[in-house]
Amino acid sequence: MNNGMAQPVIMLGCQRSGTTYLAKVLGLHEKGFFWSEATVFRYMVLFFWNYIRDRGSFRQPRFMEVLHMLKAPRGMPINEQGEKILASFERTLLGYFNDGRLEAWADKGRKREFLQALSYDTMTLGASEVAYWGDKYPEYVFQIPELVDMFPEARFVFVIRNPYAVAESLVRHLNPRDRVAGGMRFTLKDCWDQWFDWNRVWIENHELIPAANRFVIRYEEFLLDTGRVMGDLSAFMDVDLMASPGIRNELKAIQPHNLDKWKKTDVYEQLRHMPVAPDQVKVFDYYGGL
């Protein structure tokens, strides 16, 4: 794989679909720099990509605002991963100021080159050998057009999981305010609808990504046929993931017999009676039915 600054791996999908575990796996490669919600791409899009619309505005971004966002993503206390990313971002940006690159990018209006370099140098921590690099963030599904524009060569890994399993997990996964994670009203129906809504966004936007640069993982298949899925993912990323001792050891702990434990819950009994609207049928079909 050409693992340069133009070609990150971006993992996305509905919340509770397995993206966190898959990101953990990719983060274990000895020369891989794959993060779980480092949010760098998110802020590159929200702040720089949308803010720098012409050469004149390139000199105006208030870089300290991005530092504050990285310091307290989503209002949560910064963790060890965040400390590394924040320190690397500050070090990288200061280097661009000192060596004249930032001024040169601004003079020439090269915002894509600037943002690719800033993302790469920040997230690879200055490493000389990089097998691959990137980040997982479920909400990247809502930034596909901007991410494709910013990184035309990016590899996208989309994770999809059984809707009943996702909705049941969303109900159990309380947010910091002790409300379930799905939707603003935080009802079981919101959790059910979230699966359709988020996956619909992927269906409507995935063709913006060249076919060779997108890879879909069905989480159940990953758990039941791990070797095959990892082999396919290795081919997609052009790196032998299973050559990594860290990844091999982690995958030994997979317990596929827990795959359907959500079926034994009271929530599942309620979900079974949830109606499927006509516009939701195509999302069921994309998943492959039940």
Condensed to tens digits (0 to 9), the pLDDT of residues 77-133 reads 567 888 899 899 999 999 999 999 999 998 898 999 999 999 999 999 999 999 999
Give residue 55's pLDDT.
Answer: 74
Q: How many CA atoms lie within 13 A of 249 on its CB side?
A: 7
Give CA–CA dist 35/38, Å, rounded: 6
Mean pLDDT of the residues in the chain: 88
Map out the domains of the chain as residue ranges: 9-287
Higher pLDDT residue, 27 or 184?
A: 27
Give residue 172's pLDDT.
Answer: 80
Percent of the chain with pLDDT over 90: 56
Strand pairing class (132-136; 9-12) = parallel
Higher pLDDT residue, 242 or 184?
A: 242
List, in sequence order, the alpha helices (H) in the chain. 19-26, 40-43, 50-51, 55-58, 63-71, 80-99, 101-108, 111-123, 144-150, 163-172, 188-205, 219-224, 226-237, 245-251, 266-271, 281-287
Q: How many CA atoms lie within 13 A of 168 on its CB side?
A: 19
CA dihedral 222, 223, 226, 231 (to 10 degrees): 10
Residue type at position 269: E
Which of 166-170, 184-188, 236-240 is predicted least confidently? 184-188
- 227-264 residue pLDDT tens: 999 999 999 999 999 999 999 999 999 988 878 888 88
Flag whether pLDDT at 32 surpasses 90.
Answer: yes
Give residue 2's pLDDT.
Answer: 46
Give residue 74's pLDDT.
Answer: 57
The yes or no reply on domain 9-287 and CATH 3.30.56 is: no
Give residue 249's pLDDT.
Answer: 97
Strand pairing class (155-160; 214-218) = parallel
* Average confidence (pLDDT) over 62-73: 72
Percent of the chain with pLDDT over 70: 91
